[in-house]
Amino acid sequence: MTAANADTAHRTFVSYIDKSREYYEASGYDRPYRWAHHNDVPFARLDRPLAESTVAVVTTSFIFNPATDDGDDGGLMVRADKEVYAAPSSPTPERMFTMDLSWDKGATHTDDVGSFLPLDALGRAAEAGRIGAVAPRYFGVPTQYSQRRSGLDAEVIAGWCRDDGVDAVVLVPL
- What distance in Å separates the CA atoms of residue 45 and residue 48, rounded to the nearest whole number? 9
Q: What is the average pLDDT value for the chain, to the nearest integer?
A: 82
Query: pTM (2 decimals)?
Result: 0.74
**pLDDT < 50 stretches in the chain:** 1, 72-76
CA distances to 52, 162, 166, 168 from 48, rounded to whole Å, are 6, 15, 12, 10
pLDDT, tens digit (0-9, with 9 covering 90-100), for 107-118: 777 889 998 899
The residue among 128, 158, 173, 174 whose CA lies nearest residue 56 is 158
3-state secondary structure of 163: helix
